[in-house]
Chains A and B, each alone.
Chain A
Amino acid sequence: MRSCNEPSEEAPVMRKERIILEDGRYLIYYSFVDQKNNTTTSQPDGQGGEGQAEDNN
C-alpha cells in the first residue's frame, strides 16, 4: 500500500535561476531553501548563491 509522510510546517523559500541554452531556448532551475537551517535541498551544478528567490533575467 502506498502512503506518504507528513510535510514540514514551514514553506521553503523558492530560488529561480534562468539560463539560455545553446539553441536559444530558456531553461529555469527552481530550488527550495529550508527556512529553518537555510540549506538547499538540492543544488543544480554550476548554479550558486543563497537567499531569497531571484529571477536573473
Chain B
Amino acid sequence: MSELRWHPILEEWVITATHRQDRTFLPPDDYCPLCPTRSPDYPTEIPAEDYEIVTFENRFPSLQHPPPDPAVRDTELYRVRRAEGICEVVCYTSRHTGTLTDASVEEIRNLVEVWTDRFQELGSKNFVDYVLIFENKGQVIGVTLTHPHGQIYAFPFIPPKIQRELRSASRYMAKRHRCLFCDIINEEITDGRRVVVENNSFVAVVPFFARFPYEVYVFSREHHQTMLTFSKKERRDLAGILKAILLKYDNLWGISMPYMMIMHQAPTDGRNYDHYHYHIEFHPPHRTKDKLKYLAGCETGAGTYINDTLAEEKAAELRRAEPSTLEKTFLEL
C-alpha cells in the first residue's frame, strides 16, 4: 500500500508505503541483490554478469507509476492522493565492497553523466515535478544494503525543503536583484575560513549556517539551476571535487564517513526558476569519531537545529584532511 496523506498542520505531504517494511535488510555479502547475477541459482536485481553503472526501478518504491489506489478515503480535512512517481536505485559499480570514495575520478565522472541523464529523463515526465538525487551512506543513516549505491526520487510535488529554498531565493532576488546562492558563495570565498576545497567550477564549504558539525555544501560557481546546463568541464570538475570531499571525510578520522548526500536542483514542473542555484548538500551525522548528532527534541520537535561546533573550526579540520592542497591535478582536471 502506498499513498500521499496531507499534513494539514505543516501543509506538506507524507508518503505512506507499508510494503517497504518487508524490504531486504542487510543481507550477507553472498546474497547482495545489487551485485551482478553471477550464478543462475541466485538471480539478483541485475541480470547481467557484470556492469559499470546500473539504474532500475526500486522493488520497494515509495512512489510508483502507475500508482495504486489509496487504501483510505480522503475527507475535507484529510486529503489523500495517489503516490505517483518513480523511485530508482543507482548502483555505482558492480564491486560489492567499498564506497563511492573508492571510485576513480573517471568513474565518478561517469556517474555524473548518469545523474544528468536520469534527471533529464525523469524530469521530462508530466507527472514529475521534482527529481531528487541522493545517497544514504552507512548503517547509522539507516542503509539496508551496503553495496555502493544511491537513489533517485521523482516526486509528483515539490518537497517542502526545496519549496522553502525557492521562496527564500525568490524573495532575495526580488529585494536585491541578485541570486541568494551567488551571494552566499561570494561571502564564503571572501571570508575564506569555511572553505573546504574548491576548483575552477565548484566551491565546497561548511556553511556559516551549518546545522551538522561536518556539513558541506558544494556550489557551482556559475549560476546553474540544474546539471543540464553544465559544460563538459564542469561535469569533470564536479567529479573532481566530489572525490576530494569524499577522501577528506574518510581521511579525517580514518573511518568510512557515513553521510546523506543530496543534490538540490530546480523543479521540473515547467515553471521558471532562474533565481535558484544548483548545489549538493552533505549531512554527515558524526560530531566526533565516536559520537553521533541525533535529531532529538529541539530538532525534530521544533525544527531548530543545535550545532555543538563552529563551522569555522570544522572547515579547518576538513581542509587539513588529505587531500590538503589544491595542487593535485585531479581537482583541476
Asked if residues B46 and A27 are in contact (CB atoms below 8 Å), the reply is: yes
If A1-B322, A4-B330, A7-B239 touch, whether A26 touches B105 (CB-CB below 8 Å) is no
Across the two chains, which residue of chain A brings its CB closest to B239? A7
A30 lies within 8 A of B114 (CB): yes
- A12 to B145 CA separation, bound complex (whole angstroms): 29
Q: Does B333 contact A (CB under 8 A)?
A: yes
Q: Are A2 and B251 in contact (CB under 8 A)?
A: yes
Taking CB atoms, residues of chain B closer than 8 Å to A27 are 45-47, 54-57
- Report the minimum CB–CB distance from B118 to chain A (whole Å): 9
Taking a contact as CB atoms closer than 8 A, the residue among A1, A6, A23, A29 that contacts B51 in the complex is: A29
Within the complex, the shortest CB–CB distance from B67 to chain A, in Å, comes to 14
Give the residues in chain B near A8, CB-CB below 8 Å.
106
A49 neighbours in B (Cβ, 8 Å): none
A42 x B56 contact (CB < 8 A): no
**Cβ of A2: which chain B residues have Cβ within 8 Å of it?**
101, 247, 250-251, 322
- Residues from 6 to 50 in A contacting B, C-beta threshold 8 Å: 6-9, 11-12, 14, 16, 19, 21, 23, 25-32, 41-47
* A27 CA / B51 CA spacing, docked (Å): 12
Check A42 against B51 for contact (C-beta < 8 Å).
yes
B52 within 8 A of A: yes
Q: How many A-B residue pairs have CB under 8 A?
A: 105
Across the interface, A12 reaches (CB within 8 A) one of B45, B104, B110, namely B110
Minimal beta-carbon separation of A4 from chain B (angstroms):
6
* Interface SS majority for chain A: loop
From known contacts A5-B105, A25-B57, infer whether A46 and B48 are also in contact, taking CB-CB under 8 Å. Answer: yes
Could you tell me the distance between the alpha carbons of A45 and B101 in the complex, rounded to whole angstroms?
A: 26
Contact yes or no, A4 B243, CB < 8 A: yes
Q: Are B56 and A6 in contact (CB under 8 A)?
A: no
Interchain CA distance A6-B59 in the complex, whole Å: 37
Query: Cα distance A7–B94 when bound, in Å?
Result: 20
Residues in chain B near residue A5, CB distance under 8 A:
104-105, 330
Query: B74: which A residues are within 8 A, CB to CB?
Result: none
Residue A3 lies at the interface, judged by CB distance under 8 Å to chain B = yes
Q: Which of A3, A6, A41 contacts B247 (CB 8 A)?
A: A3
Contact present for A6 and B52 (CB under 8 Å): no
Q: Taking the nearest CB of chain B, how far is it from the CB of A39, in angstroms?
A: 13
Residues of A within 8 A of B243 (CB): 4
A30 touches B232 (CB 8 A): no
Is B323's beta carbon under 8 Å from chain A? Answer: yes
Asked if B39 CB lies within 8 Å of chain A CBs, one says no
Chain A residues within 8 Å of B, Cβ to Cβ: 1-9, 11-12, 14, 16, 19, 21, 23, 25-32, 41-47
18 more A-B contacts (CB under 8 A) besides A2-B251, A4-B105, A6-B105?
A: A3-B247, A3-B323, A6-B330, A7-B106, A7-B240, A8-B106, A11-B109, A23-B59, A26-B56, A29-B52, A30-B114, A42-B94, A44-B48, A44-B51, A44-B52, A44-B54, A45-B47, A47-B48
Q: What would 28 A/B residue contacts be, using CB atoms closer than 8 Å? A: A1-B251, A2-B101, A2-B247, A4-B243, A4-B330, A5-B105, A5-B330, A6-B105, A6-B329, A8-B106, A9-B333, A11-B113, A14-B110, A14-B114, A21-B45, A23-B59, A27-B54, A29-B48, A29-B53, A29-B54, A31-B51, A32-B52, A43-B50, A44-B36, A44-B48, A44-B49, A44-B51, A47-B48
